[in-house]
A and B are shown apart, each in its own frame.
Chain A
Amino acid sequence: MSFIDLSKNEVQCKVVYYGPGRGGKTTNLLYIHQAMTEAVRGKMVTIDTKGDRTLFFDFLPLALGKIQGLSIKIQLYTVPGQVMYNATRKLVLKGVDGIVFVADSLRVQKEKNVESLENLRQNLAEDNIDIKEIPLVLQYNKRDLGGSNIPILSVEEMEEDLNQELQVPWFTGSALKGDGVFETLREISKRTVKYVSRKLLSR
């Protein structure tokens, strides 16, 4: 749910990073947090991490400048990817305006990616949101493992698994090194702001 404050000419939107466990959602946020200046970003909040897994969510607020006199504030959240934390995922998805689906390029995660996307579709449907309507961007993460001896999925295969029906923008990425992180963020921000303003203008 976006919120528009006309006294400050400010719009706040919520973008959620979704995807299978250990796919790099938190790493995306950490990279954004490290790379942005303090003028743009707020404090990153990470709750209850046990080892390197997110148990509740991570949160990072960003101020992305102005569009037609309106200040744009985007709040980035991640969800816990592990299957058993679905109640938490639903909670974090509440009021979402845009989604980045971070898919894991590791071949062993092929099915997990598909399951997680299906889980997203179901959770959105429970809130009466159509996955084809809400802004969604895919990120095929961990491409830097391409040169190693760890088997990874080809981009074509990931496209076929995840994006054949959706046909949404996608980026290859290596969140650890920062590749594709800002391209993904730029695209989802652009789409989310457009989506929110279209909803408001259509009234």
Chain B
Amino acid sequence: MQITALSFSEAEESGVGMDLVLSKESIDNIINVLDDDLLRAGADCVILVDRSGNLIVNRGDPANLDVVALAALSAANFGATAEIAKLIGEDDFALLFHKGKNENIHFTKVGKGFILITLFGKDVSLGLIRLNTAKVTDQLIPILGGEQ
């Protein structure tokens, strides 16, 4: 699997914030990872966003789901809980989980700058999702520019 992502970490050093450019090949690689390990495990929808709220990739069946708003709200949610983490002496939380009546949502931190959102129904076990998101996270980090 060839990695062609360009991550402009030098931009961060120069003080203008980090930008991300992903080639078609990198996007395809991300899609393969998400499809193989999460959709096939029973997730309804998998979305990768950055922590400033940009939607990077969404897979699965997001019918009737406003993924752009979900991306912005998830980034905000993660930011808000990071503040809670600081109050109890943690830097950040690595994952968040919200349980609904029929649909559940699982958020995992990917490197420093990204969040993986997994939507799954009540018939899918949380343990399986947690196991697979951990695997997916390890595979996504090098594609997204080697962020740790």
Contact = CB atoms under 8 A, between A and B. Distances in A.
B54 A14 contact: yes
A42 B22 contact: no
B8 interface: yes
A4 B52 contact: no
A1 B73 contact: no
B66 A42 contact: yes
Interface residues of A, number: 36
Contacts of B53: 14, 59, 75, 77, 95
Given A6-B24, A7-B24, A61-B68, A94 B19 contact: no
A43 B79 CA distance: 22
Nearest to B73: A45
Interface stretch (B9-17, B37-45, B118-126): B9-17
B11 A91 contact: no
Nearest to B12: A128
Contact of B54 (A43, A45, A75, A134): A75
Nearest to A97: B17
Interface string A88-110: 00011011110000000000000
Interface residues of B, number: 34
A18 B12 CA distance: 23
Nearest to B75: A94
B76 A57 contact: yes
Given A1-B20, A196-B19, A14 B76 contact: no
Nearest to A93: B52
Contacts of A42: 66, 68-69
B128 interface: no
B147 interface: no
B76 A200 contact: no
A75 B6 CA distance: 23
Interface of B: 6, 8, 11-12, 15-24, 27-28, 50-56, 66, 68-69, 72-73, 75-76, 79-80, 83, 113
Interface of A: 1-7, 12, 14, 42-43, 45, 47, 56-57, 59, 61, 75, 77, 87, 91-92, 94-97, 127-130, 133-134, 196, 199-200, 203
